[in-house]
Copies of this chain bind each other. A is one copy, B any other.
Amino acid sequence: MTGYTATVTVRLKHGVLDPEAETTQQALERLGFELEDLRSADRFEIDLEAESAEDARERADEMAERLLANPTIHDYDVEVDER
């Protein structure tokens, strides 16, 4: 077994309203910053023991499907690094 860190990034699907991101963008603009767009995402860094990077990725993928992301409104991606 090897130690891996799987990073799951969960984003809102294109077209889903993101009031938190909008508020953050407006606050930055009020501070004088110029920006075109701001999107927010949740990032989960998961340490796990697995037989292989492939195995770690599959398990992180299943965690995203079952709990971390809501498939109706979210897209996600998984990145795996050896610890």
Q: A residues engaging B (CB < 8 A)?
A: 3, 9, 21, 24, 27-28, 31, 33-49, 59, 62-63, 66-68
CB pairs A–B below 8 angstroms (14 shown): A3-B36, A9-B43, A24-B68, A27-B67, A28-B67, A33-B59, A34-B49, A35-B46, A35-B48, A36-B47, A36-B49, A40-B43, A40-B44, A40-B45
Given contacts A31-B66, A67-B28, A68-B24, contact A40 B37 (CB under 8 A): no
Q: How far is the CB of A28 from chain B (nearest CB, A)?
A: 6
Chain B residues near A68 (CB-CB < 8 A): 24
Interface centre among A34, A36, A59 (most CB of B within 10 A): A36
Q: How far is the CB of A12 from chain B (nearest CB, A)?
A: 11
